[in-house]
């Protein structure tokens, strides 16, 4: 029997690869949104990560007519009142650029001492059925601190400046193996796996 399929509601190739690895234990074949080139991008107009994740999951599920797992994630820096928050990907404006985002973040933190550079990554995941009904939601958090300069060659986004205190290394230095256990996205995915397995086992995923 062919495995049931689902669609990852993101056009970000880095996120697709990471999510496919995090969801490898589910009995679902995960496809990328890039396989549906005619689908218009769902605007992220929400004020929170949860709102944006819901918009994407529902919007893409209705457009494609398949199960869709969408997420919205970002960085919240305590000394900046939670910035960049939902604007993490476009913090320095359009077009989106990781390097410029990091440069702006470090500039705004240049006079902030190390003990006050605390931050957290947040990820909210939403699973919607082919009719666009929300079936499950999970959230993952990861605490850390912002470094004075980028370090490491792995990862994407703010990974080079987000240090895990227990390891004294940034996500970009730790690599995907460790990040796959500790990250906000990993924690949200681990909680979502249980929902997915239940839906497949019950037959609901295939519409049985």
Q: Which residues are catalytic?
A: 72
Q: In what order do the strands lie in the sheet with 118-128?
A: 29-32, 5-8, 68-77, 118-128, 134-146, 162-164, 169-170
Q: Find out whether 110 is annotated in a ligand binding site.
A: no
Q: Find out whether 179 is annotated in a ligand binding site.
A: yes
Q: Find out whether 60 is annotated in a ligand binding site.
A: no
Q: Find out whether 185 is annotated in a ligand binding site.
A: yes
Q: Find out whether 73 is annotated in a ligand binding site.
A: yes
Nearest to 173 by CA among 158, 199, 155, 191: 155
Q: Find out whether 10 is annotated in a ligand binding site.
A: yes
Q: Find out whether 12 is annotated in a ligand binding site.
A: yes
Q: DSSP labels for 98-161? A: HHHHHHHHHHHTTTS-GGG-EEEEEEEEEEE-TTS-EEEEEEEEEEEEE-SS---SSSSTTGGG
Q: Find out whether 159 is annotated in a ligand binding site.
A: yes
Q: Find out whether 156 is annotated in a ligand binding site.
A: yes
Structure tokens that stand for 12 in this block: 């970000």
Residue 173, beta-bridge partner list: none
Which residues carry a binding-site annotation? 10-15, 72-73, 156-159, 179, 184-185
In the annotated binding site for substrate, the residues are 10-15, 73, 156-159, 179, 184-185
Binding-site members for Mg(2+) are 72
């Amino acid at each position: 029997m062919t495995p049931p399929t689902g669609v990852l509601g993101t056009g970000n190739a880095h996120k697709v690869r990471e999510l496919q690895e995090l969801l490898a234990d589910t009995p679902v074949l995960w496809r990328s949104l890039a396989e549906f080139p005619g689908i218009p991008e769902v605007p992220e107009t929400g004020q929170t990560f949860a709102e944006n994740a819901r918009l994407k999951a529902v919007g893409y599920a209705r457009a494609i007519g398949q199960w869709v797992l969408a997420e919205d994630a970002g960085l919240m820096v305590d000394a900046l009142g939670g910035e960049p928050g939902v604007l993490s990907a476009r913090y320095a404006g359009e077009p989106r650029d990781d390097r410029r985002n990091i440069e702006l973040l470090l500039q705004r933190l240049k006079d902030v001492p190390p003990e006050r550079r605390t931050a957290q990554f947040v990820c909210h995941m939403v699973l919607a059925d082919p009719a666009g009904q929300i079936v499950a939601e999970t959230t993952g958090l990861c605490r850390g601190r912002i470094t004075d300069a980028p370090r490491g060659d792995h990862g994407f986004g703010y990974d080079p400046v987000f240090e895990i205190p227990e390891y004294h290394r940034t996500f970009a230095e730790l690599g995907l193996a460790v990040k796959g256990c500790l990250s906000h996205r990993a924690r949200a995915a681990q909680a979502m796996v249980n929902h997915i397995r239940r839906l497949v086992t019950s037959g609901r995923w295939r519409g049985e």
